[in-house]
Amino acid sequence: MASREQFSSKTGFVMAAAGSAIGLGNIWGFPTQTASNGGAAFVMMYFLLAFCLAYPALMAELVIGRHARANIVTALRHVAPSKPTRFLGTFIGVYGVIVASLILAFYGIVAGWMMTYLGASITDLFQWNEASQWLTSFGFTRNIIAMGIFMVLTIAIIASGIQGGIERWSTRLMPMLMLILVALILYVLTQDGAKEGLKVYLIPDFSQIKPSLILDAMGQAFFSLSLGVGTMLVYGSYLSDKEDLPKLGAIVTLTDSGIAFIAGLLIIPAIYVAQAHGTSIFSESGTLIAGPDLIFQVLPSLFNSMGGIGPYVALAFFILMTIASLTSSISMLEVPVSLASEETNATRRQATWLIGGVIFVCSALILLNFELLFTLVIDFTTVYSQPLLGVLLCVFVGWIWHRNSLLNALKAGSPHLEQSLFWKIWPVYVKFFCPLLILATFIQSIIG
């Protein structure tokens, strides 16, 4: 077998893993959840769970991946000591691959919308009103073309491999994303109404903390760190044994949460700035507007009210959304592609186009039955499957993988780990606390 590709450097891995984590989940999901869960109290709970639950689960995926140096299915089989546990490994792996693919199927649709709004901000600049109208109205043809273009971009990057595809594009796109984000915040914070938004975002009202808020915060942390479906596992498998895993995992968690926080700093004040400009920001039930309306109605009306600079700000914002989506979607596609290209005779290129094509068809089917399938697929993948897979992966690391082998895998690249708090806490923590906590969330979300 040809030698397996790796990330060329620490930075390459961090950019790629942070690129996977930072996506619509941060810039759209997090502010939206914050708005519908009463502001700062949600923000605090989210940070608590991101570090106390999602980070340990992220470490579980990274350590399996780097140790086994393989796709999710082969990696889990590799660390399983017996026939039944290998079977369980195959089951979890295949389930993860299917869920990662289905996440891409709906994510590609939403990312497509970001691209149509990006297109509309360009046509607005030239005052091509009909084109803008078409680009911003919901229709099957528009949706499928936009999703198709986005899928082709995702496929093209993944077909080029780890260093030439994932690493190269993540290291180019991520700094751009951060620059655009900061520029937008600086602008929004100088506008009327921003202060009120900042208050909602930063001053907690603890009476808002309810079980449903904790549930939402946990789900959000899981989705945002791309956990459960093998994305981080496979990225870990391209990481050298010389690298310090707990440290890199912590950097990725910090970057992801940091960007979510900064995105909130942009979006929540922007909602109030939009109100100051006369846009209604409350839904019929009296809560702050959220969901698609936030990005596709409140923000565009804010951009419109900015006068001459508006279309440029809109352009920057939707470029930001498209970049963030792309560095995430490539990590989803890598999950099935790594399995197919390692376990069949297909070349990476063939596997990528074939699997990308199948996922395109799934997206098209969702678009054709939008009312029925769109939220169904989102719920099946993010609400139910991601937490369940998270439990299974923690159980795999904590209970099935031979403990000495696990500890050795963890130590590689971190010479002083045995003196650290991480070393004392994490192995026990991931065995008992993580599965129980995730399971509790999961049961909660079933019984509603």
Instruction: Please report, as ranges, the residues that interact with ligand PHE according to CB under 6 A.
Output: 20-21, 23-26, 103, 223-224, 226, 229, 231, 328, 331-332
Least Å distance, CB 263 to ligand PHE, is: 10
Residue 191 or residue 331: which is nearer to ligand PHE going by CB? 331
CB of 20 to ligand PHE, least distance (A): 5
Burial of 141 (0-12, 13-18, 19+ CB in 10 A): exposed
**DSSP letter, residue 288:** B
Contact between 108 and 150 under an 8 Å Cβ cutoff? The reply is yes
Q: How far apart are CA 109 and CA 198, in angstroms?
A: 31
Q: Is 8 helix (H, G, I), strand (E, B) or coil?
A: coil
Phi, psi of 122 (to 5 degrees): -75, -45
Q: What are phi and psi of 243, to 5 degrees?
A: -85, 150
Nearer to ligand PHE, 275 or 382 (CB): 382
Q: How far is the CB of 99 from ligand PHE (least distance, A)?
A: 8
Q: Which two tokens stand for residue 340?
A: 């197919």
Least distance to ligand PHE from the beta carbon of 382, Å? Answer: 8
268 vs 324, beta carbon nearer ligand PHE: 324
Would you tell me the crossing angle of helices 129-136 and 83-125 to the nearest 10 degrees? 160
In the complex with ligand PHE, the residue whose CB is nearer, 25 or 264, is 25
User: Whose Cβ is closer to ligand PHE: residue 24's or residue 313's?
Assistant: 24
User: Roughly what angle, to the nearest 10 degrees, separates helices 434-447 and 55-68?
Assistant: 120
Nearer to ligand PHE, 21 or 76 (CB): 21
CB nearer to ligand PHE: give 98 or 122. 98
**How far apart are the C-alpha atoms of 390 and 166, rounded to whole Å?**
24
∠ CA(243), CA(231), CA(254), 5° rounding?
Answer: 60
Cα–Cα distances in angstroms (integers) from residue 97 to residues 111, 221, 325, in the given order: 20, 20, 19
CA distance 26 to 293: 16
Q: How far apart are CA 84 and CA 402, in angstroms?
A: 15
Closer by beta carbon to ligand PHE, 26 or else 363: 26
Q: Residue 444 is encoded by which pair of tokens?
A: 């909660």
- As measured in angstroms, the least distance from the Cβ of 262 to ligand PHE is 14
- Count CA atoms closer than 13 A to 196's CA, side-chain side: 10
